[in-house]
Structure 1
Amino acid sequence: MSRKRNPNFSEMELQILLDNVEKNKDIIFSKHSNVVTNISKKRVWEGICEKVNAVSSGHTRTVDELRKKWSTYASDTKNRISSNRKESVKTGGGMAPPELTPLQDKIVGIMGPTAIEGISGGLDTCGEFEDACSSLSSASTISLQDKPSTSGNNEMDPPKKVSSRKRHIQDEDNQSSQRLVAIEEESSCREGETFY
C-alpha cells in the first residue's frame, strides 16, 4: 500500500513560513547548540507550525515538514541564483534567465548575501591546497645521497629516504635561515661595519 502524498504548500503557507522564519532568524540560525538554545529553536518552529496550520486548507503540517520545506526552498533559490549568474556571463544571445519570485527574493533577504555569494574578497585556496598536498604525496620519498655520514664510520651510510613533507619543511627552514643572514648583513651595513 503506497503512502498518500502530502499536498503542495500553498502560496499563503509559504508566505507565513517565510515571514516567521525572518522574524525568528536569530534563534533559528543560531550557531549555539546547547540545551537552552535547542529548546528555544524547537519552540520557535512549533510556533511557526501552529501559524502555518492556522491558514492551511485541511492538511496539518508537522515541524519536520516545515523545516524540510524551508531547506529545499532555500536550496532551490540558491541554485536558481547560481544558474542565473552562469547564464548572465555566457557569450551569445538567447533569452534572459527568469527573475526571482517575490518569495525567493525574501529568502535571499533572510539568508543574506554571504550565504548566496560567499565571502566578498575571499580567496578559495582549497583547490591550491589539495594540489599541493597531492604533489607532496605523489613524490613520497627523496633519496639524500650526498649527506655525510653521521655514524662515525669512514664509509658513506646507505642513502636515507626522507618524506617529501619533511623535505618541504627543511627547505622552508633553509629559506628562513637565508633571510636571517640577509637581514643581519643589512643591519651591519647600516652600522658601518663590513660584513664578509
Structure 2
Amino acid sequence: MAEKKRKINWTEEEREILIEQCTSETGRKINLKFSNEISAKDKAIFWEKTAERINSISMCQRTADEVKKKWIDTKSSAKKKAQSMKKELGRTGGGPYPGGLTNLEEKVVTVIPKCSIDGIVNAIDIFAVFTW
C-alpha cells in the first residue's frame, strides 16, 4: 500500500481566506449545528466554494473536507487560547497575559459562542437545589 504524502502547510493567505469565509454572514449560518435555513446540501456547496477560493491562490490543492477540518482545528485552537487567557486573568498576581490572540484568532473567537469560552455564568445546579 502506498504511503499517503503530507501536503504543505497552510499559508497565511490561505488561513485568511478560510477565516474570512467562515466569519462572514453565510459562514456563521453554515457553522450553526441546527438550522432550518441551511440544508446539508447548502453546507456542502459552501465548503466546495471555500475550497475553490483557497485553491485559486494556493500552491496545493485542498479538498472541501480538508478545508472544513482546518476550520474545525482553527476554531478549537482559538477557543483553547481564549480560555487559557481568561484563566490567566483570574490567577493571583494579575498582570497581563504573556500571549494574546492574533487578529485572525480574534475573528475566529467572534464566531464561537461566548458561553463556550466563559462557561455558564450565574448558573444554578438544579441537582443541588432539589433533593430527590
Which TM class, normalised by the smaller chain length?
Answer: 0.7 to 0.9
Shift of 1:89: 1.7
Q: Look up the match of 2:70.
A: 69
| Secondary structure in structure 2 of the residue aligned to 1:110 | coil
Is residue 26 of structure 2 the alignment partner of residue 26 of structure 1? no
Structure 2 Cα separation of the partners of residues 19 and 66 of structure 1: 13
> Alignment partner for residue 47 of structure 1, among 40, 46, 49?
49
Contact 1:18–1:106 (8 Å) recurs in 2: yes
Q: CA 1:124 to 1:60, structure 2 compared with 1: closer, same or farther past 3 Å?
A: farther
Contact 2:51–2:67 (8 Å) recurs in 1: yes
Identity %: 31
Shift of 1:111: 2.4
Q: Look up the match of 2:118.
A: 117
Shift of 1:99: 0.9
Higher relative contact order (CA 8 A, sep 6+): 2
Shift of 1:13: 0.5
Query: Counterparts of 1:59-138 in structure 2 under 5 Å?
Result: 59-92=60-93, 96-121=97-122, 123=123, 125=125, 129=127
Contact 2:47–2:65 (8 Å) recurs in 1: no
Contact 1:87–1:97 (8 Å) recurs in 2: no
Structure 2 Cα separation of the partners of residues 93 and 41 of structure 1: 43
Gaps of 5+ in 2: none
| Secondary structure in structure 1 of the residue aligned to 2:91 | coil
| Secondary structure in structure 1 of the residue aligned to 2:93 | coil
Structure 1 Cα separation of the partners of residues 16 and 49 of structure 2: 15
Shift of 1:4: 1.6
Structure 2 Cα separation of the partners of residues 109 and 31 of structure 1: 19
Larger gyration radius, structure 1 or structure 2: 1
Structure 2 Cα separation of the partners of residues 42 and 49 of structure 1: 11
* Root mean square deviation of aligned Cα: 2.7
Shift of 1:124: 5.5
| Secondary structure in structure 2 of the residue aligned to 1:100 | coil
Moved more, 59-68 or 92-101: 92-101
Gaps of 5+ in 1: 137-167, 169-196
Structure 2 Cα separation of the partners of residues 124 and 6 of structure 1: 48
TM-score, normalised via structure 1 length: 0.56
Matched residue count = 128
Contact 1:88–1:96 (8 Å) recurs in 2: yes
TM-score, normalised via structure 2 length: 0.80
